[in-house]
Amino acid sequence: MNAWTYGVDTISNLPCNVLDGILGWSPWKDAVKTSILSKDWRYKWVTRQQLDFNDEFFESFKQDEEAKRIITQVLLLHKVSILKFRLQGRSFTSCPDIDHWIHFLTKKNVQEFTLHVNFENKYHLPHHLLHSSNYSIWNFNIACSTLHKVSKGLRSLLISV
């Protein structure tokens, strides 16, 4: 007899850190699809503590606007602290959404933030970013960016050009 004969859901009974690991390593669309498994799984995907939006993520959408909308929704629905956030591999003409995401991440006290993107126009890092001291590692590799006056609260800053 197997577990399904008795209606036992062995995956849901795994420890939270194991479930987080499974969902964290799953591609975004697969992680979101788990919400149809049961009522208990409906919002498990919003507990991922590592949010990685890379080329693979963007390539799964026909338009970047749709992908940016999804990133915004993920951040708004997110229920737990974010350990790592990575946005990598895209070229933007401009992206006010990134300013909103950065603001949200400073409020969520993200520990590690990586932003590796290119802008066709000059991009100004938001003022509030440089005045925050609530983060550990923020890694920026942004083409066409400019910095405002740096706060004393910023312990270190590495800029790669």
Parallel, antiparallel, or unpaired: how do β-strands 137-146 and 84-92 relate? unpaired
pLDDT 10s digits, 43-70? 777 778 888 888 888 888 888 788 888 8
Which band of pLDDT confidence, cut at 50, 70 and 90, is reported for residue 94?
low
pLDDT 10s digits, 5-33? 566 677 777 887 787 778 777 877 787 78
**What distance in Å separates the CA atoms of residue 142 and residue 91, rounded to the nearest whole number?**
10
Which alpha helices (DSSP H) does 40-126 contain, by range?
Answer: 55-59, 64-77, 96-107
Q: Give me 93's structure tokens.
A: 């003409």
